[in-house]
């Protein structure tokens, strides 16, 4: 990491070489991303249980903040589906839906999330994201997609139906079905159909009509904003709002006032666990998008810097009337494909959205909620990858179990419970996997100084010296297992007077394993057997010298295992060396 | 594990060869342990917040159950200090002190604890105990000892003073000091002094007076029961109970009725987390005592069988009027030293305690609580080992931090919080430690087919092929780190067209790492670089074949790294081979 001001503000680096050509590329990318972000921002705010306009607010200042502090040239931050769902889950249990407290809670959550990310950056805690293994993240995103889609169906049907989990919600939808509002359903289905076709086929059709591939792709990306405008026109002309079609309604014009969210220590403490999870999930998603895009140009992003960038974006969301944000996959790819060269593209996108807020909010008054719901459903269903479960099951059962636990947790209990269940189960299975390392009894290969596993090779075993090779670092997950294996082998070899542990693969002996070694040495001594070590690596020896183990365990540390056997049972060893080769 | 009835009941095994000589040895050990257990059982029941007599109940049936199902020949189960403290902590927040519900809660807790242990045995989940690393257990026991000693001071002072944590309790003691009951204090201090001297010096004094060492040791162990009897005599003669010295009071005579504890699903669910922690701590302690004693005779215990034995003991405690029990260190050593040969010694101890309950309970009426408190204090202070913190700090900082967190948690917040903080921090630091494995860029040793770290050896690097060696299994804690290191090295080597990951030390590639490899391959391809693997172990290749990675990643898997370089950059490789040796 570079120091000084340029180290804190990566933008000082790229601004030095900024010119008109780069600006033109950034500008084009910004225009396309703006058009893409308008419907998404409105929709994800609704998903988070917030007034749709806050989605636009959350796409202005955070983008500027990320442009100043972030390192990815193409990452586009803003509201994303999964984080919006997590926001709704965090706030829903505490604040009444639609209340001013709920909106203030979202600001507080963004503030906490920003602080968590910045603290993680300062303390270099980015590795915590490793707790979220890939199967957990993948299962979490798939299940969230399903949960989100089910939750939005009520807007398509024009009914009220909510539940505590996916099954609950489906039940409520089923019971509410007779009350379906047909004009709303018609708009919803039309929007779903057009959005799906635009996403799946528009680009191909445009190409067939002779539009250049790049332009066709960019035009296809503006499908949602066109659908949105069409819907507003239809609803306004037919006065469908009066006919009972739920619309966004009056939206305050102008930019949001800058202000710190109301601070309440009790509330903050209550929201902190959710803020941590939101930060971690957002960080993992964002870094993986950022790395993928950076690699295409043989660049790289620095994960610790990304923490600062995302933290700044969330702090900006908190003071600018938004809610938690992170880097989105689809919009970042669009940004990249449209030619974004520097984070300036993000700042220009923010400008586009600010103009939208200032000039076009009256348009959104007649925007039907069913169209926003359709936007969400089409976007999130592309996140659902149920095949991943089968693929993971074929590859690794423990990973598939963790994924399944996460999905079931998210669908049947809740978003946070689901992810915690997945993390818990991964850690649990990881510990199980590492708790029984390979430990082999070894003997001398005749005619050589080499020692190999007695169950795989024809080797010579000393009648008085037992040799065991440990094929793993010794630390708390496996320390007691070592005690157990030693006890087992000693009870099977009644004639032995020495036990030599061969440690060429031991990279670490932690305090638990040291205690185990001491217990082993003491127990062996009580049974008239002396413990020795062989082939201990340098750093491990250095650490052992920090304890008094080497002074007290009574045995020797041999540089090679052959040397150990030569010292402890010269007769057998010499004979084996001279035996056929 | 042997199957059939003898597999389930290890006692069938040793009963076959049982004879009068063994019975005599077991009988002597049982007599000594009985005398030792009487004061301890009464005292630990008081520590658990229960009527002292329940301590004796908890030392009858559980011992019989362990004799039937356990595998250790010397382990003596019953109430122990730390588990009694955890019992008090679990029940204290839920039931009013001294109520019938509290006593019933203790039975339910023992039942749950027994079920947890049996379920762990059936599902072979003994490895879960590995979550409790040695520093956490050690810190937990030291801090518990301090907490227990502080908590018992009120009985010595004869005042009422309790707090939510150690600091709180000390404050309450300080404020209560003026109300000290002097006769109680005199008895308490006398008991403390005699017990301390008996523990520290009695054996030596007896030896000096010509008593044989073995007999002297056994006599010294009966010190507490003598103190207890003396105190009863003094209190009865001087009628000190009437003078305000708190005594045990009327104790129901006779054996407890056998009955299932009242079952209440809600309560059970509430107590389950505490029951799990109690089971784990009890199991870890018990296994470590059992292993130590078994090793002295070159025997071994099977941890999974111990789960069954301890589970049976706790279930027996639940139906026999007791509370959670486990194997105790001091009493097991006494049992062993006194010559116990089979678990029959435990059954005979149970008989001795049953006789005590039937015949001698009237004696306990005038037993001062201060003497029980003194028994507890002298016993638990021997558990406190503050030097361990300094020793661990010298040996390993992360382990010392986990130990300190556990101790602070236990002292300042509570028993359960403390152990959970320690476990959480150990897992966290463990993950941090494993999340950044050693990954080296390697080059060819001139004149050889060997490849070594470029920063340690004078080696030849190919201008078009980057070679990286991974010195650790690839799994979720380090998968993203690998992505990051690869991105870093690729950005430093602009000319390369191939990247070969050398995997001789990779024992596992889990689903997270597989995703990372796929992401790496894809990102490299986008940058015009092809990924290859070399020296992949057989089992890892077998697992990779379960996925479609090998078909899609576009590169080759080479048996040796030399072969890879020979295929990808024959010119440089050939030249390096022919260069000086």
For A130, which of B297, B300, B435 is closest by C-beta distance? B435
- What pLDDT band is residue B2 in, cutting at 50, 70 and 90? very low
* B127 contacts on A by Cβ (under 8 Å): 431-432, 435-436, 477, 481
Is the distance from CB of B319 to CB of B129 less than 8 angstroms?
no
* B290 contacts on A by Cβ (under 8 Å): none
Nearest C-alpha in B relative to A389 = B511
* A133 contacts on B by Cβ (under 8 Å): 476, 479, 510-512
Nearest one of B253, B277, B441 to B358, comparing CA atoms: B253
Sheet-wide strand order for B557-558: B451-453, B439-444, B465-470, B498-502, B530-534, B557-558
Which residues are bridge partners to A502 per DSSP?
A: A469, A534
Burial B241-250 (b: 16+ CB within 10 A, else e): beeebbbbee
Q: Do A134 and B516 touch (CB under 8 A)?
A: yes
User: A347 vs chain B: nearest CA distance in angstroms?
Assistant: 26
ipTM of predicted complex: 0.77
Q: Phi and psi (nearest 5°) for A281? A: -65, -45
For B396, which of A297, A471, A511 is closest by C-beta distance? A511
B176 exposure class (CB count in 10 Å sphere: 0-12, 13-18, 19+): middle
Task: Give the tokens for residue B466.
Answer: 């980057």
For B291, which of A299, A481, A523 is closest by C-beta distance? A523
Residue A276 CB coordination number (10 Å): 16
Nearest one of A41, A42, A188, A148 to A383, comparing CA atoms: A148
What is the rounded distance in angstroms from the CA atom of residue A101 to the CA atom of residue A393?
A: 44
Q: Phi and psi (nearest 5°) for A121? A: -65, -45
The reply to whether the predicted model has a pTM over 0.80 is: no
Residue B219 CB coordination number (10 Å): 17
> Going by DSSP bridges, is the β-strand pair B465-470/B557-558 parallel, antiparallel, or unpaired?
unpaired
For B133, which of A303, A432, A476 is closest by C-beta distance? A476
Q: pLDDT tens for residues A438-460?
A: 888 999 999 888 898 898 889 99
What is the rounded distance in angstroms from the CA atom of residue A324 to the CA atom of residue A310?
A: 10
SS3 B442: strand
Is the distance from CB of B158 to CB of B246 less than 8 angstroms?
yes
What is the rounded distance in angstroms from the CA atom of residue B45 to the CA atom of residue B41?
A: 6
Nearest C-alpha in A relative to B513 = A134
Indicate the Cα dihedral angle A433, A435, A436, A441, nearest 10°.
Answer: 140
State residue B1's pLDDT score. 42
- What pLDDT band is residue A1 in, cutting at 50, 70 and 90? very low
- What pLDDT band is residue B331 in, cutting at 50, 70 and 90? confident
User: B561 vs chain A: nearest CA distance in angstroms?
Assistant: 21
pLDDT at A248 over 70: yes
What is the rounded distance in angstroms from the CA atom of residue A159 to the CA atom of residue A179?
A: 6
For A487, which of B291, B483, B524 is closest by C-beta distance? B291
* A526 contacts on B by Cβ (under 8 Å): 295-296
Report chain B's terminal Cα–Cα distance, integer Å: 56
Is the distance from CB of A89 to CB of A274 less than 8 angstroms?
yes
Q: pLDDT tens for residues B68-124?
A: 988 888 888 999 999 999 999 999 889 998 899 999 999 999 999 999 999 999 988
SS3 B327: strand
* B394 contacts on A by Cβ (under 8 Å): 546-547
- Least confident window among A464-473, B15-24, B382-391, B526-535: B15-24
Tell me how many helices (H) and strands (E) chain B has. 28, 8
* A478 contacts on B by Cβ (under 8 Å): 130
State residue B5's pLDDT score. 61
State residue B579's pLDDT score. 82
* B485 contacts on A by Cβ (under 8 Å): none
Residue A330 CB coordination number (10 Å): 18
Which residues are bridge partners to A453 per DSSP?
A: A442
For A295, which of B288, B432, B526 is closest by C-beta distance? B526
What is the rounded distance in angstroms from the CA atom of residue A472 to the CA atom of residue A113?
A: 38
Q: Do B477 and A430 touch (CB under 8 A)?
A: yes
Q: Do A435 and B134 touch (CB under 8 A)?
A: no
Q: pLDDT tens for residues B441-483?
A: 999 999 888 898 898 889 999 999 999 998 888 988 888 889 8
Mean pLDDT of all residues in B426-443: 86
* B433 contacts on A by Cβ (under 8 Å): 508
State residue B4's pLDDT score. 59
Residue B10 CB coordination number (10 Å): 23
Nearest C-alpha in A relative to B391 = A547
State residue A7's pLDDT score. 66
For A511, which of B135, B427, B435 is closest by C-beta distance? B135
State residue B225's pLDDT score. 87
Task: Give the tokens for residue B356.
Answer: 């005590």
Nearest C-alpha in A relative to B429 = A128
State residue A2's pLDDT score. 44
Q: Do B130 and A524 touch (CB under 8 A)?
A: no
Q: Do A291 and B523 touch (CB under 8 A)?
A: yes
For B491, which of A299, A392, A516 is closest by C-beta distance? A299
Q: Do A288 and B519 touch (CB under 8 A)?
A: yes
DSSP B223-256: HHHHHHHHHHHHHHHHTTTTTT--B------SPP
State residue A236's pLDDT score. 92
Q: Is B326 left (phi over 0), alpha (psi -120 to 50) or beta?
A: beta
* B484 contacts on A by Cβ (under 8 Å): 291, 300, 303
* A510 contacts on B by Cβ (under 8 Å): 133, 396, 398-399
For B435, which of A127, A300, A480 is closest by C-beta distance? A127
Nearest C-alpha in A relative to B131 = A477
Mean pLDDT of all residues in A361-371: 89
DSSP B277-300: HHHHHHHHHHHHHHHHHHHHTT--
Q: Do A295 and B134 touch (CB under 8 A)?
A: no
Nearest one of A495, A552, A542, A492 to A520, comparing CA atoms: A552
Give me chain B's average pLDDT, please: 89
DSSP B367-387: -BHHHHHHHHHHHHHTT--TH
Q: How many CB pairs under 8 A join A and B?
A: 180
* B426 contacts on A by Cβ (under 8 Å): 476
Task: Give the tokens for residue A365.
Answer: 């008054």
Task: Give the tokens for residue B230.
Answer: 């003396």
Nearest C-alpha in A relative to B390 = A547
């Amino acid at each position: 990491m570079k120091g000084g001001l340029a180290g804190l503000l990566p933008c000082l680096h790229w601004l030095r070489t900024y010119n008109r050509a780069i600006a033109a590329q950034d500008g084009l990318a910004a225009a396309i991303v703006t058009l893409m972000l308008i419907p998404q921002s409105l929709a994800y705010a609704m998903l988070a249980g917030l007034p749709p306009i806050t989605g636009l607010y959350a796409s202005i200042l955070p983008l500027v903040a990320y442009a100043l502090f972030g390192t990815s040239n193409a990452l586009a931050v803003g509201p994303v589906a999964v984080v919006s769902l997590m926001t709704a889950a965090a706030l829903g249990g505490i604040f009444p839906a639609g209340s001013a407290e709920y909106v203030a809670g979202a600001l507080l959550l963004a503030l906490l999330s920003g602080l968590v990310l910045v603290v993680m950056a300062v303390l270099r805690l980015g590795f915590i994201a490793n707790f979220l293994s890939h199967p957990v993240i993948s299962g979490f995103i798939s299940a969230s997609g399903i949960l989100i889609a089910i939750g939005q169906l009520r807007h398509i049907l024009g009914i009220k139906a909510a539940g505590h989990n996916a099954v609950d919600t489906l039940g409520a939808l089923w019971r509410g079905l007779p009350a379906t509002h047909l004009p709303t359903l018609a708009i919803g289905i039309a929007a779903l159909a057009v959005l799906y076709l635009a996403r799946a086929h528009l680009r191909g059709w445009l190409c067939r009509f002779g539009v250049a591939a790049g332009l066709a792709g960019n035009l296809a990306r503006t499908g949602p904003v066109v659908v949105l405008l069409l819907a507003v026109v239809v609803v306004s002309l037919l006065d469908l709002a009066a006919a009972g079609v739920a619309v966004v309604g009056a939206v305050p014009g102008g930019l949001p006032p800058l202000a710190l969210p109301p601070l309440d220590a009790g509330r903050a403490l209550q929201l902190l666990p959710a803020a941590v999870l939101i930060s971690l999930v957002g960080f993992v998603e964002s870094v993986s998008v950022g790395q993928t895009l950076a690699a295409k140009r043989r660049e790289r992003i620095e994960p610790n810097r990304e923490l600062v960038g995302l933290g700044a974006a969330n702090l900006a969301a908190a003071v600018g009337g938004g809610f938690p944000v992170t880097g989105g996959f689809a919009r970042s790819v669009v940004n990249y494909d449209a030619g974004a060269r520097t984070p300036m593209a993000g700042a220009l996108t923010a400008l586009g959205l600010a103009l939208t807020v200032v000039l076009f909010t009256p348009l959104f008054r007649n925007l039907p909620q069913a169209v926003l719901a359709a936007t969400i459903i089409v976007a999130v269903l592309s996140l659902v990858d149920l095949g991943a479960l089968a693929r993971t099951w074929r590859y690794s059962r423990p990973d598939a179990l963790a994924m399944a636990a996460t999905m079931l947790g998210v669908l049947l209990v809740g978003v946070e419970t689901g992810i915690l269940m997945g993390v818990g189960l991964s850690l649990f299975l990881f510990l199980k996997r590492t708790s029984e390392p390979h430990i082999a009894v070894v003997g001398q290969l005749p005619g050589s100084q080499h020692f190999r596993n007695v169950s795989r090779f024809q080797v010579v075993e000393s009648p008085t010296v037992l040799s065991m090779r440990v094929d793993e670092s010794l630390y708390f997950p496996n320390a007691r297992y070592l005690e157990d294996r030693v006890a087992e082998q000693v009870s099977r070899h009644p004639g032995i007077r020495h036990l030599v542990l061969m440690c060429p693969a031991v990279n670490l002996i932690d305090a638990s394993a040291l205690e185990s070694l001491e217990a082993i040495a003491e127990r062996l001594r009580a049974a008239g057997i002396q413990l020795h070590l062989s082939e201990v690596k340098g750093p491990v020896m250095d650490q052992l010298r920090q304890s008094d183990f080497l002074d007290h365990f009574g045995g020797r540390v041999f540089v090679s295992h052959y040397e150990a056997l030569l010292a402890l049972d010269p007769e057998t060893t010499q004979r084996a060396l001279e035996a056929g080769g």
